[in-house]
Chains A and B, each alone.
Chain A
């Protein structure tokens, strides 16, 4: 049973518009969430994270929103650029993330295509 779900395998957006990538989780013990971006033939690259004590974290064009009651988070990219075209993975971890335990659980990813 998947604990982290990205229900949209792909998303196509016009350059300059907003990209919204969604992620749902089932484990209420998760309290730290991350987004990774992955280009072909490269490893995932850390993008942005959010702790469960917050409902929003912003870094430049990237903003992550967390709705704990709905067990849902989303990544907003504004404005979208062709270089943002990649696979985006959502990941979650429990309270022990910073300690010896606390592994990352990944979703299957959403492939974002930003068209010029």
Chain B
């Protein structure tokens, strides 16, 4: 299995600012993802983080709002840009190994935008 850590674990931000969330995996994963879980909702995939190239975004999510980097196989960042209260959510980093294709999740970053 893979152990995934995220920081910060939570933050309270002002409208119009940006926050960068870091994700570190303790072993190499073939794929890394970023999810969002809004209150009372399911986990929604934001994008697949690709090593050394632009992330692949799901419908409804754009690079200008959620820029993502993945400089190597074990690290990725997600930035929530120009935040509004609607961005208040839990943001989760996830990794998938190639062995059993299980997908693991980090503890999440709880973001509150005032």
Contacts and interface: CB of A to CB of B under 8 A. Distances in A.
Interface residues of B, number: 22
B108 A4 contact: no
Majority-rule SS of A interface residues: loop
B45 A89 contact: no
Given A46-B102, A97-B101, A98-B101, A41 B42 contact: no
B43 interface: yes
Contacts of A98: 98, 101
Contacts of A107: 42
Nearest to B103: A104
Contacts of A2: 42
Nearest to B4: A43
A103 interface: yes
B45 A103 contact: yes
B4 to A, nearest CB: 7
Interface of B: 4, 31, 33, 40-45, 48, 58, 92, 94, 98, 101-108
